[in-house]
Amino acid sequence: MTSPDVTLVEVGPRDGFQGIGPFIPTQNKIAFLQRLFAAGLREIEIGSYVSAKALPQMADTPELLAACTAVPDLSPRVLVPSLKHALRALDDGVTFPTFVLSVSESHNRNNVKRHPDESVGEYLQIVEALPDNADLRLDLSTCFDCPFEGQVDEEAVLRLLEKLVPAMPGAEICLCDTTGKAEPQQVERLFSMARATFPQVDRWAVHAHDTYGLGLANVYAAYRTGVRIVDASFAGLGGCPFAPGATGNVATEDVVWMFHRMGIPTGVDLDDLIPVACDGAGIRGGQSGGRVRAAIAARTSARCD
């Protein structure tokens, strides 16, 4: 398969599953991971190390991590919202933790019970604790809009990055549209500003929700600025439990379709991905989205409820 020009980070097993009430059996989750890998996805956010009381769907993340050792070339990523959970993940052998904090104070307090500056302090400690064989990603939530405060000032994003980037310029940094209210000009402007302000950062990523139907447009806007790492969720599963009104992530199959139509390789086989997305959309309690899955199913007379 052609080497990808765009790296897709499949976040469905974490962002897509976390808000689902009925517990998805661990073996079912493992089967989804294996099928996503078989479709060509190599970077998969498999879960998060969080309080099982807060997000019971994520309680089996250590078991999923162990299962990933049987899948060569799979790079499992794990979300961590605090120093405590990050250290636990590292102790369990996680080599690609994703630390999340919010630009807006209200969302950070609602999400991780901390002021953003407290989260910055914990991030700096995680950088110090990171073993030599580990990579690190930083997810900045509410970069464009906050469900409690409204539109977020771009300068606030840059000021927060000024506190974070020097600690580990080589980290992957993702600017997240948590509520799905961003629009393409806003996305292009912020990524352009961030890339110009922090040229030492080589890896920028975009995380888009499709609440208002602009997920794909926002992904493309980020791509126009040079972003080559894109988060997506198979079947468009998602919706942040801590961001009222936010719906699912941009669908992986929609992102793959768009880039392939543009002649841009992703390394993902759409024919293999569609059946996985169809099954993902059928998960009880899930909130799915996207358009390509249904369009291809209709064209091929396949059943995709």
d(CA 41, CA 252): 10
Q: What is the number of alpha carbons within 13 Å of residue 99 lying toward its C-beta?
A: 27
Bridge partners of residue 151, in order along the sequence? 145
Active-site residue identified among 146, 240, 278, 304: 240
| Annotated catalytic residue 240 | yes
E runs forming strands in the chain: 7-10, 43-48, 75-80, 97-102, 137-141, 145-146, 150-151, 172-177, 204-208, 229-232
d(CA 211, CA 230): 17
Those residues whose C-beta lies under 8 Å from the C-beta of residue 112, and which sit 6 or more positions away, are 81, 82, 100, 101, 102, 119
Assigned token pair, 148: 């409690």
Q: At what angle do helices 26-38 and 270-281 cross, to 10 degrees?
A: 160
The H or E element containing residue 257 is helix 252-261
Assigned token pair, 76: 């499992």
d(CA 284, CA 131): 39
Is 231 in contact with 214 (CB distance < 8 Å)?
no
Handedness of CA 42, 7, 168, 156 (dihedral sign): negative
Residues known to be catalytic? 240
